[in-house]
Structures are given as structure tokens and as C-alpha cells.
Amino acid sequence: MSWFRGSVFSVKGMWQFTKGGFERARANFHDEEMTVACDNRVFIITGANSGIGRAIAEELVRRGGNVHIVCRNPDKCAETGRHLRQLNGSAQVTEHVVNMSEMSAILEFTERFKKVIGKLDVLINNAGVLLDEQINSKEKFDVSFATNSLGPYVLTRELLPLLEQSADARVITMSSGGMYNEKLDLEDIQSINKGFNGTRAYAQQKRQEVIMMEQFALKHPKVLFTSMHPGWVDTPGVERSLPTFYQMMKNKLRKPAEGADTAIWLSTVPRSHSGIVNGGFYFDRQSVSKHLPLAWTHSAPEEDAQLMTMLADFTMQALRTKGITEAT
């Protein structure tokens, strides 16, 4: 079955996920749908210093959004901030240096943001890593899991009080088509018990993100929660993490702005749009299936709920490691 799943994924990827797929999809786009004004709206974008995250930030700044970029590297964060302000001299751009693999750092950021900024309309969970070796974070979690799954969970959960005060709040999480190859595995949630495989771990974590958005949508219906697949995009992360794939496909990969397009659409299309589904998974501005045909990647509702319980428990474990007794 895994062979069949991989074959279907490869065929689907070559037809839809490449830049040729984007060009075919673009023929059906209606840009007039994207009518939500970005001025006076507050955005947070993680992993905004390169690739898709930077492209998202650029477009939102051009549209007059109040954009807060979250990056791990201070120098790259500062450079990105300068670049964004050059695109729109009147834009409000604020840089935040946060390591998304450290839960205590995320909590410090969210507490400061709630006190100083006090407003949030759109959170875009874009930061992610694909590593070829298993590395522990300072809080004793696998860095890939901490960055790709636990970090977005904590960031989203802690910013919910601000989001629920917004008249049109949205959370968009950048998943990956790789998640089509994985079923939720609660017995090895960090993907470290069966011999670490970076590509499999990344795909498993991207599956977790999709389920996470579904579960948040069930409990917080006032906020629009979505996940999305950007297609196969030419980014520094892909070139570094998947060098063989990159060399084979680099002439077929999408531009970062094309990978960012659906995130912009999800940020700005009216929520009344007929294609908007809370908890939905999106590709090229359409709600799409979260599973390949006959792929056997569905999980039970109780398993999906258990994922959230486990993430909450891991968060408390991280706080205890740092000497913090209670989540904010």
C-alpha cells in the first residue's frame, strides 16, 4: 500500500504541485475575491526571513498590513524588516526574534505581544525545518517535532485570546503535500522510536498540523483555522534539505510568491466565500482532500483529540523543564 501511495503522490505532484500546475490553476483564480482590507489588520508570520514566509510578508506589506515577522536568526530578521519597509514606506513592520523550537521562548513572545500590541487578526504558522539527523532541543524534544508541531500548537493556543477579540480572525498553517504519505502515529509522535528519517518525520509533523487546525476549529469556531499545501517551491530550505530532489526538479519548482499565493488568499478572501471551510485543507485556492485515494491515512476522531492532549502535556513538560509551573 505504501508503494501505491507513493506512486499516486508522485503522479499527482508532477501534474499539480509544480509551477506548471500553478499556471493551470491560475487560469481559474478570481483576484477580485481578495477584498478584505489589510490596513488596520495585524498579522504575525513565522519563518518570514526567506522563501514562502518572506513572500507572504512582502505581499501583506504591499497591501498595507501591520506585519509582525518572527524569525530565529537576529541578523536575517533585521535584514528582512529593512527590506519590507523599502517595499512600502508607510507600512508597519515589526521584527521579533524567537526560536520556534523553544516553548519558553514562544511563551515569552506571546506574553509580550499580548501586553504591548494587544491585537491580532491573522496568524500564519509558516516556520518549519526538515533535518537529516535527530537533534534534541533545549527542552529535550526532537527539534523537528518542536519546530513543526509543538511550536505552532503553543503559539496558536497562547494567541487565541487576542484572535477571539478580532472581528475576522484567521490562523493559517503551512503544511506540505508530504503529509499525504503519513497517517497520524501517536505511538511515535516525535518520529524518533523507529530510527530517525527526516523526510518521514517532516511528513508526519505536517499531518499533525492539519489535524491540529481541525481540532482548533472544532473548539474555537469564531476563528477561521485552515492548513494548506504550497506546492513544490524553490526555497533555500528545499535546496538545503532535499538536494537530490532540488537538482532533479529545480526547473519545475514554483516561485516563492506562487507558493505563498494560497496563504494570501486565505488571509484576505471574505469568510463568506463558498469555498471557505473551517478546519479545511487548501491547495491553489481550493479546499482539497486531506488524503490520497485508498491511502489508508485516516485517523479516528478520538486519535485526533488525543493528539491535542499530548501536545498540551508536552507543553507542560517544557514549562517544568524551564521552572515554570503553569502555562500562561
Query: How many Å separate Cα 171 from the centre of its chain?
Result: 9
In sequence order, what are the beta bridge partners of 224?
A: 170
Supply 29's cell numbers.
483564480
Rounded to the nearest 5 degrees, what angle is found at the Cα of 111, between the Cα atoms of 108 and 114?
Answer: 145
Low-confidence ranges of the chain (pLDDT < 70): 1-4, 322-328
What pLDDT is attached to residue 44?
98
DSSP annotation string for 126-161: ------SS--B-TTSSBHHHIIIIIHHHHHHHHHHH
Tracing cell 517532516 back to the chain, one arrives at: 202
Whether domain 2-6+37-321 has CATH 3.40.50.720: the reply is yes
Q: Is 282 a catalytic residue?
A: no
Spatial distance between the Cα atoms of 136 and 116, rounded to a whole number of angstroms: 32
pTM for this prediction: 0.95
Give, to the nearest 10 degrees, the angle between helix 19-26 and helix 256-268.
Answer: 40
Supply 155's cell numbers.
503559539
Spatial distance between the Cα atoms of 15 and 235, rounded to a whole number of angstroms: 20
What pLDDT is attached to residue 4?
65
What pLDDT is attached to residue 328?
42
**Taking phi first (over 0 means left), then psi (-120 to 50 degrees means alpha), and beta for anything else, what does residue 40 get?**
left
Q: Which of 72, 65, 118 is nearest to 96 (CA)?
A: 72
- pLDDT digit string (tens) for 191-225? 999 899 999 999 999 999 999 999 999 999 999 99
State which H helix or E strand residue 275 sits in: none
Asked if 119 contacts 92 with a C-beta cutoff of 8 angstroms, the reply is no
How high does pLDDT run on average in the chain?
94
- pLDDT digit string (tens) for 96-123? 999 999 999 999 999 999 999 999 999 9
What pLDDT is attached to residue 1?
47
What pLDDT is attached to residue 186?
98
Other residues' Cβ atoms within 10 Å of the Cβ of residue 39: 11
What pLDDT is attached to residue 255?
98
Show me where the domains of the chain are located: 2-6+37-321
Spatial distance between the Cα atoms of 300 and 40, rounded to a whole number of angstroms: 41
The catalytic position among 153, 202, 246, 282 is 202
